[in-house]
Structure 1
Amino acid sequence: MKKMLLFLAPLFLIFSCQKNKVEKVEKAFYYWKSSDYYSDFNKEKDILTQHDIKKLYVKFFEVDYTDAMGNYPISKTNFSLYSYCNEKSADSLEIIPTVYIKNIVFQKSNESDLDKLADNVTFLINKYANEKLDSLQVSEIQIDCDWTASTKDKYFYFLKKLKPVSQKEISVTLRLYPYKYPEKMGVPPVDKATLMCYNLINPLADQSKNSILDLKELESYMNTGKKYPLHLDIALPVYSWMQLYQNNQFTNVLYDVNDIKPHLKEIKPLWYEVQKDTVINYETYLRVGDKIKYEEITADKINKAISIIKKNMKLDKNITVTLFHLDEKQLNNYTDEEISHFYSDFTK
């Protein structure tokens, strides 16, 4: 009997591992460029073609609040990529309208306001889908919000209203804090969620850590020991940025990191000093002595994050992995092979 138990133990472990193994990954990108952002789309189109990407989570607009205007849409998106890609290929992209709603909207709104917001969000998505995307058939809407414990009830009320009004599948983004503490933060009343495995730390709160992706911080949120009540997809960062400090005061976030790197000298981990007066994009002036915190996301760091996720999370067999975000300059930092592994490594 003892020998039989010893024989069965490794088999049990094998089957346990297989039970939680991801078998299929649907590859996706976020597309987050506002309408005033110029791009020729060549690199972006190549990425979509090379990796057979059929799904884009496109930020249609954001929702903000002021006392004078109430809730109103801002930062509308550049839809030109969709038209460009569909002109160049026979297969169209699946577009999932994504709407970022600032938390202040739920701090300031009552239920009547939120009823109206559900109507207006649905109306504007349909308007863009018809007018800008050739009567695109929308099957899913994703809502992106950094809700808090104090706005949870109003946010969840809005989500419940959006479902019947839109008659679409509703998904949300999920930050790591509400993922780890569902008892405190609640579980959104939606069909599924995308876990955002980045932006773990306030960018200005800790000068010694990479606020986009700190691996120890990520692992501390992952080890919950239980499966989240909703189906979870995964989002990973494929971008880097620089925080500019002038006269020891934070002044700007810079994304054109490759244009800036030649003018920097490392002074300590993550921190650099400008060595030459430089103008970036005709609008940002770097002066000798300015300090820059360079938060870089390398392929190696993403691969380690994937290992942490696989080790600690109980994922479904079929998931979507979405990279944030589709930007030709940022994606120049990765090879095609590296990008391919960001998806395929989940099934290994």
Structure 2
Amino acid sequence: MKKIFLILPLLFLIFSCGNTKVEKVENAFYYWKSNDYPSSSNKEKDILINQNIKKLYVKFFEVDYTDAMGSFPISKTGFSLNSYCDEKSTSFYEIIPTVYIKNIVFQKSNEKDLDKLADNVNFLINKYAIERLDSLKVSEIQIDCDWTASTKDKYFYFLKKLKPISQKVISATLRLYPYKYPNKMGVPPVDKVTLMCYNLINPLADQSKNSILDLKELESYLNTGKKYPLHLDVALPVYSWMQVYQNNQFTGVLYDVKDIKPHLKEIKPLWYEVQKDTVINYETYLRVGDKIKYEEITADKIIKAISIIKKNIKFDKEITVTLFHLDENQLNNYSDEEISHFYSDFIK
């Protein structure tokens, strides 16, 4: 009898520490096109309808820094709500303005600069909401930043300032390193975070791994055994790219890969050699012998990543799953059924 009483508390502890079962997933997409890209396509509209998408995280602009200009907006979006709403749409989308702020902004700014930045970010978001969203009410802002231990205090100061100015829910993206090491990297002072389960490795740092999504690398960051102190949503990659190396020097990245794939010969895992001189998009000229690192994200790889995420993360009952990003060229690599699984697998 004594052994039974000793075992029961242990069993209770094990089960009480288990993951909360996700009961509801809100399907979402990131929209990350700048204003020099077409704003919409029929394929993208159909995906939003077929996948019952009601929420879009739309990059409104980015913030960069120079000594001459200070902080300034770049890469503004060409997104227009009207271009995604037609007679088949049953309701309006919830649009979450998203702003990517480069880490150099916080390296170079003092508190007075950050007070001004919070005002300017809020002003531009409101301006674009009127112009692009037909004055659709915005209830949330998401800030995207690769902050470091040395910039976290300034970044967190900015987030605290933005909250009362905007009078909106503030969310932030969360990379895997700060997720694993919250004591070192801090917990951002926001209402919730979206865990970015991609871009795990510096693209040029490890030539043997897929820098977008390496499953072993992903699990090594997630197996903390602790629940993150904020509500946690998830973002997954639905894009692939090719890194181009000419004369053994990195020269750029290609996203539209369908034209070049027939002219490649695999020389080792992830690596290919160009077999025919090829012009891509009238801009990039590939020569015979050029090397290509093809980092492909297949549906099977995403499903395996979801299994790892579910195994290691303690979620709330309701979460948002956001795919990066809404781009016809990339989404052509997946069937509607596969995309649907990227959402529904979280509640299985």
TM-score bucket (shorter structure) = over 0.9
Partner SS, residue 87 of structure 1: coil
Residue 245 of structure 1 aligns with which residue?
A: 245
Structure-2 residue corresponding to 1:24:
24
Runs of 4+ in 1 over 3 A off after TM superposition: 1-19
AA aligned opposite 1:280: I
Q: Check whether the contact 1:85–1:92 (CA below 8 A) recurs between aligned residues.
A: no
2:55–2:93: 8 Å Cα contact kept in structure 1? yes
Change (3 A) 1:40 1:117: closer
C-alpha distance in 1 between matches for 2:329 and 2:142 = 26
Which residue of 1 is the match for residue 86 of structure 2? 87
What residue in structure 2 maps to residue 275 of structure 1?
Answer: 275
1:188 aligns with 2:169: no
Q: In the aligned structure 1, how far is the partner of 2:278 from the partner of 2:108?
A: 43
Aligned residues: 347
- The DSSP-based 3-state class of the residue aligned with 2:62 is strand
Moved more, 82-91 or 198-207: 82-91
Equivalent runs, 1:169-208 vs 2, <5 Å = 169-208=169-208
* Amino acid in the other structure paired with 2:95: I
Conserved 8 A contact 2:39-2:78: no
Match of 1:113 in 2: 113
Equivalent-residue separation in structure 1 for 2:218 and 2:7 (angstroms) = 36
User: TM-score scaled to structure 2, two decimals?
Assistant: 0.96
Change (3 A) 1:40 1:55: closer
2:293 maps to which residue?
293
Map residues 188-337 of structure 1 onto 2, 5 A cutoff.
Answer: 188-337=188-337
Offset, 1:310: 0.6
Question: Conserved in 1, the CA contact under 8 Å of 2:19 and 2:314?
Answer: no
CA, structure 1 residues 290+154, in 2 after alignment: closer, same or farther (shift >3 Å)?
Answer: same
Q: Separation in 2 of the partners of 1:275 and 1:331?
A: 27
Confirm or deny that 1:156 pairs with 2:135.
Answer: no
How far does the alpha carbon of each residue in 1:279-299 deviate from its partner, in whole angstroms, 9 at most, with x for none? 111111111111000000001
Deviation at 1:190, TM superposition (A): 0.4
CA, structure 1 residues 40+144, in 2 after alignment: closer, same or farther (shift >3 Å)? closer
Q: CA deviation at 1:87?
A: 3.1
Please state how far the C-alpha of 1:7 moved relative to its aligned partner.
Answer: 11
Q: Go from structure 1 to structure 2 and tell me whether the alpha carbon gap of 1:17 and 1:304 turns closer, same or farther (over 3 Å shift).
A: farther
AA in 2 matched with 1:135:
S
The one-letter code sitting in structure 2 at the alignment partner of 1:301 is K
Give the superposition deviation at 1:38: 2.1
Q: CA RMSD in A?
A: 1.9
SS of corresponding position for 2:85: helix
Deviations 1:103-127 (A, max 9, x none): 0000000000000000000000000
- In 1, are the aligned partners of 2:197 and 2:234 still within 8 Å (CA)? yes
Where does the alignment leave 5 or more consecutive residues of structure 1 unmatched?
none
Question: In 2, distance between residues paired with 1:71 and 1:19?
Answer: 42
Which one-letter code corresponds to 2:67 in the other structure? D
Aligned to 2:342: 342
Give the 5 Å matches for 1:56-75. 56-75=56-75
Partner amino acid, structure 1, of 2:276: K
Q: Which moved more, 1:283-292 or 1:36-45?
A: 36-45
For 2:51 and 2:315, locate their aligned partners in 1 and report how far apart those are by CA, in whole Å: 23
Amino acid at match of 2:145: C
CA deviations 1:124-143 (Å, max 9, x no partner) are 00000011210121000000
Q: Is the 8 Å Cα contact of residues 274 and 290 (structure 1) preserved in structure 2?
A: yes
Contact kept? 2:18, 2:314, Cα under 8 Å:
no
Q: Mark the CA change 1:260 to 1:222 in structure 2 (over 3 Å): closer, same or farther.
A: same
In structure 1, how many angstroms separate the alpha carbons of the residues matched to 2:301 and 2:230? 27
Q: CA deviation at 1:50?
A: 0.4
Q: Quick one: percent identity of the two aligned structures?
A: 85
**Structure 1 residue 15 displacement after superposition:** 6.0
- How far 1:263 moved relative to its partner? 1.0
- Secondary structure of the corresponding residue to residue 149 of structure 2: coil
Partner of 2:41: 41
| Residues 126-181 of structure 1: CA deviation (Å, up to 9, x unaligned) | 00001121012100000000000000000000000000000000000000000000
TM-score when scaled to structure 1?
Answer: 0.96
SS of corresponding position for 1:304: helix
**1:3 Cα offset (Å):** 10
3-state SS in 2 of match to 1:236: strand
Answer with 293-302 or 83-92: which moved more. 83-92
What CA distance in whole angstroms lies between the structure 1 residues aligned with 2:335 and 2:14? 34
Distance 2:25 2:295 in 1: 28
Shift of 1:10: 11
